[in-house]
Amino acid sequence: MQPIKPQDIIVILKVLSVGRKGWKFETLQEELGLSVSAIYRSLERCVKARFISPKPFNDIYVLNLTEFLVHGIAYAFAVEPGKITRGIPTGHSAAPLNKEIVSDKDVYVWPYSKGKSRGQGIEPLEKHVPEIAQKDHGLYEMLALIDGIRVGKSREKKIATDLLTDKLQDYATRYQS
């Protein structure tokens, strides 16, 4: 079995956020900057990870996905804050987590030359995340919350976990309709 890849998380979150009837391979290709075959392979790995049902990929197993994001992602895709750089806020520096946690000393950003913020660089799950985040606010929030789990201290992780869990449940309810 091929292990889950960071892009698989982005693909499954995008599918969840768009809804069961709203996604097509071509749309995902355009919005995520991945080939149709790469998206298909991502979904196949998500099937093996038990995040989504087998083809035609109708049902997302939100509890399984949530469990992985809350308890596994920080280990599977570990990251450490890097040098100060220009970029797009993430983790506790981005919404919705920045409404709960105020930190003047630690600003986290995904490195991005067109970004308007400066802070410690956090390697995103996938190199195209900053561009993707500019196009999809809901996906941006989920990815920023995931970074809150990946790099946060205990309090930040707890708040990010609660917010992400709520957001995933909201998307799951909409996905089914």
Q: Is 20:53 a contact under the CB 8 Å cutoff?
A: no
User: How far is Cα 145 from Cα 86, in angstroms, rounded to an integer?
Assistant: 20
What's CA 39's distance to the chain center, in Å?
Answer: 15
For 81-132, the pLDDT digits (tens) are: 999 999 999 999 999 999 999 876 789 999 999 999 999 999 999 999 999 9
User: How far is Cα 156 from Cα 84, in angstroms, rounded to an integer?
Assistant: 21
The pLDDT of residue 102 is 82
Residue 1 — pLDDT band, cuts 50, 70, 90? low
For residue 54, the SS3 value is: coil
For 20-63, the pLDDT digits (tens) are: 888 999 999 999 999 999 999 999 999 999 999 998 898 999 99
User: How far is Cα 169 from Cα 88, in angstroms, rounded to an integer?
Assistant: 26
The pLDDT of residue 103 is 75
Residue 6 tokens, joined: 């960071």
Residue 1 tokens, joined: 């079995």
Residue 154 CB partners (closer than 8 Å, separation 6+): none
- The conformation of residue 4, written as its DSSP 8-state character, comes to P
What value does the mean pLDDT of the chain take? 94
Sign of the dihedral through C-alpha 140, 120, 98, 9: positive
